[in-house]
Structures are given as C-alpha cells and as structure tokens.
Amino acid sequence: MTGRADDTATGGVVLPAHRDAAVTALFHAQWGSLVRLARLLVDDRETAEDVVQDAFAQLHRRWGSLRDADAALFYLRAAVANGARNRLRSRKRALARAPLFAASAPAADVAAVEREEQRDVVAGLRRLPWRQRQVLVLRYYLDLTEAEIAATLGISRGAVKSHCSRGIAALSRRLEMAP
Amino acid sequence: MNPRAETADRLRAALHKEADTVTFTDSDQAVRRLERTMRHNHRRTAVLSAVAAALVAVLVVTGALVLRGDDERREVPVPAAEPAIPLPPPGQRILYSSGGVVFSLDARTGTASELFPGSYPRWSPDGRAIASVTDSGEIAVTDVMTGRSRTVATGGEEPAWSPRGDRLGFVRGKDVLTVDLATGAEEKVATIDAPYVGLADWAPAGDALIIKLDRSAGGEITLHRLPTAGGDPVPFLGGTGDTTGLRFAPDGSRVAFFNEERSCICTATADGSDVQVVHAFDTAPDTAHVSWSPDGTQLLWTEKTTGDLRVISVGTRVTRTVAVAGTSRLSHDWR
C-alpha cells in the first residue's frame, strides 16, 4: 500500500512505505477518534481501548491486502464497529443491567440540565437493539452516509434505512417517556 | 419541528458532547502496546512461513494430484470460448463485491481481478452472465463473453436469477418484483409492509422467492417463502429469528444459511426441515452471505470482523481461508 501526500481520511498523515511505520503513523492520527467511537458503542474506557488496539493489530496483519490509505481507515472503522459488537456479545447479560455511563458529578444550573439531557439521550440510545445503536452512532456521530454505513457494517442500504428509521422512532418514544 | 428530526438533532448533539468527555490513554503510551503486538505479528509470520516452507514439498506432490482429480470432478458447463472479462477456470470462479466494485477471485489461488463497478454479483444458472447492482441502483446484466453490460431494471437491490435464467427477482423498497430479461417487462410479486424487505434466492422449482423480512422492532430478520404467482409470504425454516444469507444448493436439494440463534452456518432440506450445523461460530455471525461451490460440496462465507473469505467442506467440516481482506466483501457467488 502506498502513502498519500494529502489525505484527510487518514488525518492528513503521509503514510510511510514501511508497514510498521505506516500503522504507527495511522495509530497516532486515529487513536483518539477511534477510541471515542468505540466508547460510544461499549460501556467503559478499557474495553473501548482494547477494541481499538485489536483493530490496529488486525490492520497490521492485513496491511499488504489493503488497496490504499482510505481502505485502511474504512477497515479500522469496520473493525471497531464489529469488534465492539463482539465484545458486548461475550458479556451480554452483564451489560443488560450495567450502568450506561458513569454518573457525572452533580452540578447546578444550565450545565447540569444540559448534562442531564445528554445522559438521557445517550442512555436511550444504549437501550436500543445493537444494530440500531450501531447505525445511529455511525450516522449521527461520524456523519457517514447510508452507503458508507452499509459498506462499513456489511448490510444493505435498505437495512441501514430501516435500522436508522426505527432507531430514531424508538429513541423519540423513549425520550418522550423520560421523566 | 418534526419529532424525529428533533430527536436526530438531540442525538447528534449528545453524541458529540459525550465523545468530548471521553478520556483515553495517551497515544504515545498506547502505541507501545501496539508495537508489542506488531513484534508478535512478525514472529508469528516468521514461524508460519517456516512451517509453510517445510510443507510445500509434500503439498506440491500430493496436493497437485488431489487438485487435478478435484478439477475433473468440479467441471461445469461453461462457454468454450475465452471470456472478455478476467475470470478464473470454471469451478473456481468466485465473484464478490467490495467498496462498490465487483471482483472475480480464483477459489484455489486467492488471486483477485477487478471486473466492473457494482455490488450483489450473482452468476446466471448457465454461467454466461453476471447480474449486479450499479452504483446508481440499477440492476444490470453483464455478458461474460462480450464484457458488455445492460440495464434491466432501475432502482433495485439484491437480484436473484430464476432457475431457467430467463428472469431476475429483485427488491425495490417494499416491493418484490421480477423482470423478464427478454422483454424487460417488470412484474410486481408483492408489496410487503415491513421496515426491511430483502431477497435471498429463487426456489429451484421456480415457483417461489425466498425473501428476508424484518417485522420486529429489533432488527431481527426472518425468512419467508413468497409464491411468484402471488399470495402471502409463508415463514420458511420455521421463521427462526435472524436468519440470513440463504442460498439453495446447485442441485436444489438443500439450503445453506446463517442463523444468529444457533450461531452457525447451517444447512437444511429445501423445505426447511432437517437443519444441520455445518460450522459453529464462537461469537454470533453477523448478517452476511453464504455461497455454495458449483459441485455443492463446499460453502463460502465472509468473516465479518476481518473480511476474510473462508470455505468449509460440508462433508468433512474442514475450513480454509481463500483470501484475506482489507475491506469487507459484502456479497459473493461461486461457479
């Protein structure tokens, strides 16, 4: 795989030709954003970091089969999205009753209200079926198109539309019911 | 404001605020863990290379003999002349789509060639044509001998050939349709009131389509048999939850499919009975596709987390990797 001089998809990183150096450069560029993505899909920081580390380990093993730098980022996002799902499946029961996010310290005024709103929305998201949650995070956090989400998750565009539509509908109902 | 749009706006704002609060290990510190992993990968590669080199001499002698016999057994009727598009030998012709491009791949060597833009590639029953979906959502048929493509329907997904190869079934929104390839006439089989409707395959007798429906609130896909002459869809395979990727075997005697509840690639008789687990997964398989080898002895599937294309012998349950991937291979077919 060859590097590119101006590549926003890889965080503007010029990827070196050597595999280890290229993966390391990509790691520095994407580590934070991928951990944030993983953190929205799993319930703790350690698991999120493990998912991203696993994704980079897989990327390193398959570096030679990637066509270009864009494919590397596509691969990483897909590996994080699917890796998060596999992690959650392995401890599904525990997660079913686990707290969604650590409670923030109580605070007064507008900031507290906003944090409450944020927590309600994210908690509602967390209670949706996994596929709907996955699609909504990719759509509304990464701002991926339906086609990009379909390619990332390996499902049809019709399925993306369906999950997105039903996810938003279910989330609306949950937020209406929220105290 | 529309309640859904309002929810979407609230969700977008909440996700970005939540992401901003995420703390994580410094990348310089985290990269040391990655470096250990990369060193481990290099050692593993070196060991595997040494083992592979030691086995080559044995495989060259015994493998060649076995594969030669295998080739003779797998021969299927195909055009005698050379195709205009790069294809492996008959019996080894895997098609797959990745990143909006259709590729051919040699089942024996793993060598891939880019064919044309598209997705959902499906071989015609006689192996002379490939149906696919273009970037703009058209159903196209490509003649392998001339390399020429023609649009046969607009706005559709997931084409499936009729057993005689004279029609294509496909899905457009909630409509399940067929198109006559000689006349271009479309016929609506049914309109299904479900959030997701997909097409898996055309039954070997030609009298029904196997469709995928999601009528639940949780993304659970079930299979139904839809008569082409009209009528209501009837649950197939007992309507077991989250079953996808169904394909009929070349001789029509069995079906292969993924089932989430059983975490398996399973087979069953064509009427949906006698379900057998061919391959059990450690973690539940995601929605994906499965394809039969032309002789019906092997099944091809995509490992969703890695994108690797893998094959399992239905008889011996022995698996092998056909090709490792860097991007996901969404759908495939084998002839």
State the Cα–Cα distance between residues B156 and B169, nearest whole angstrom.
10
Query: Chain B interface, mutation test: which of A172, A175, A176, most B Cβ atoms within 10 Å?
Result: A172
Q: For residue A20, which residues of chain B lie inside 8 Å, CB to CB? A: 35, 38
State the Cα–Cα distance between residues B21 and B15, nearest whole angstrom.
10
- How many residues are recorded in chain B? 335
* Cβ density class B282-315: b for 16+ within 10 Å, e for less: eebbbbbbbbbbbebbbbbbbbbbbbbbbbbebe
Q: For residue B288, which residues of chain A lie inside 8 Å, CB to CB? A: 154
State the Cα–Cα distance between residues B201 and B176, nearest whole angstrom.
12
Question: What DSSP designation does B263 have?
Answer: T
Number of C-beta neighbours around residue A66 at 10 A: 19
Of B7, B19, B326, which is closest to A168 when you measure between CB atoms?
Answer: B7
Cα A13 from chain centroid?
21
Q: Decide if B304 and A154 are in contact by the 8 Å CB cutoff.
A: yes
Q: Look up residue A75 and give its amino acid.
A: Y
Of A53, A79, A155, which is closest to B305 when you measure between CB atoms?
Answer: A79
Query: Chain B interface, mutation test: which of A65, A171, A174, most B Cβ atoms within 10 Å?
Result: A65
**pLDDT of the residue at B93:** 94
Q: Decide if B11 and A67 are in contact by the 8 Å CB cutoff.
A: no
Between β-strands B276-280 and B264-269, what pairing exists: parallel, antiparallel or unpaired?
antiparallel
State the Cα–Cα distance between residues B239 and B311, nearest whole angstrom.
26
What's the token pair of residue B93? 């012709």
pLDDT digits (tens, 9 = 90+) for B180-235: 999 999 999 999 987 778 899 999 999 999 998 876 655 567 889 999 998 899 98
What's the token pair of residue A80? 């994080």
The nearest CA of chain A is from the CA of B323 a distance in Å of 9
What's the token pair of residue B292? 């039969």
State whether residue A4 sits within 8 Å of chain B by CB. no
Predicted confidence pLDDT, tens digits, chain B (335 residues): 677 788 889 999 999 988 888 888 777 778 888 888 888 878 887 788 778 777 776 767 665 555 555 555 444 444 456 788 889 999 999 998 877 788 899 999 888 888 998 888 999 999 999 999 987 788 999 999 999 999 999 988 889 999 999 999 999 888 999 999 999 999 999 999 877 788 999 999 999 999 988 766 555 678 899 999 988 999 888 755 567 788 999 999 999 988 777 778 899 998 878 889 999 877 655 546 789 999 999 999 887 666 678 899 999 999 898 887 655 556 789 99
**pLDDT of the residue at B306:** 65
Cα-based torsion angle of the residue sequence B102, B105, B110, B114 in order, rounded to the nearest 10 degrees = -50
Number of C-beta neighbours around residue A29 at 10 A: 18
What's the token pair of residue B113? 């060639």
**pLDDT of the residue at A159:** 81
B107 φ, ψ (degrees, to nearest 5): -65, -25
Q: Which of B95, B93, B92, B48 is nearest to B67 (CA)?
A: B92
Query: Chain B interface, mutation test: which of A37, A156, A162, most B Cβ atoms within 10 Å?
Result: A156
**pLDDT of the residue at A88:** 67
State the Cα–Cα distance between residues B137 and B134, nearest whole angstrom.
5
Question: At a CB cut-off of 8 Å and minimum separation 6, what does A116 contact?
Answer: none
Characterise A11 by phi-psi region: left (phi > 0), alpha (psi -120 to 50), beta (else): left
**pLDDT of the residue at A103:** 36
State the Cα–Cα distance between residues B13 and B289, nearest whole angstrom.
36
Q: Which of A:112-151 have CB within 8 Å of B? A: 114, 117-118, 121-122, 125, 129-132, 136-137, 140-141, 147, 150-151
The nearest CA of chain A is from the CA of B63 a distance in Å of 25
**pLDDT of the residue at A136:** 94
3-state SS assignment for residue B226: strand
Q: Decide if A31 and B30 are in contact by the 8 Å CB cutoff.
A: yes
Q: CA A74, B174, B152, B257 torsion: positive or negative?
A: positive
3-state SS assignment for residue B96: strand
**Measured distance between the N- and C-terminal CA atoms of chain A, rounded to whole angstroms:** 53
CA distances from B112 to A141, B86, B307, B325 (A): 34, 9, 14, 11
Q: Which of A146, A155, A55 is nearest to B287 (CA)?
A: A155
Chain A residue nearest residue B15, CA to CA: A141
Interior angle at CA B215, CA B212 and CA B219, nearest 5: 80
* Under-70 pLDDT residues of chain A: 1-15, 17, 65-69, 88-111, 113, 177-179
* Cβ density class B1-20: b for 16+ within 10 Å, e for less: eeeeeebbebbbebbebbbe
DSSP string covering B129-186: EEEEE-TTS-EEEEETTT--EEEEESS-EEEEE-TTSSEEEEEETTEEEEEETTT--E
Q: For residue A31, which residues of chain B lie inside 8 Å, CB to CB? A: 24, 27, 30-31
Q: For residue B99, which residues of chain A lie inside 8 Å, CB to CB? A: 67, 71, 74, 151
Q: How many CB pairs under 8 A join A and B?
A: 186
Q: What is the largest CA-CA distance in chain A?
A: 55
Q: Look up residue A169 and give its amino acid.
A: A
**pLDDT of the residue at B255:** 94
Of A23, A39, A75, which is closest to B38 when you measure between CB atoms?
Answer: A23
Number of C-beta neighbours around residue B88 at 10 A: 18
Query: Chain A interface, mutation test: which of B29, B38, B113, B199, most A Cβ atoms within 10 Å?
Result: B38
Instruction: Decide: B170 and B156 in contact? Cβ < 8 Å.
Output: yes
3-state SS assignment for residue A45: helix
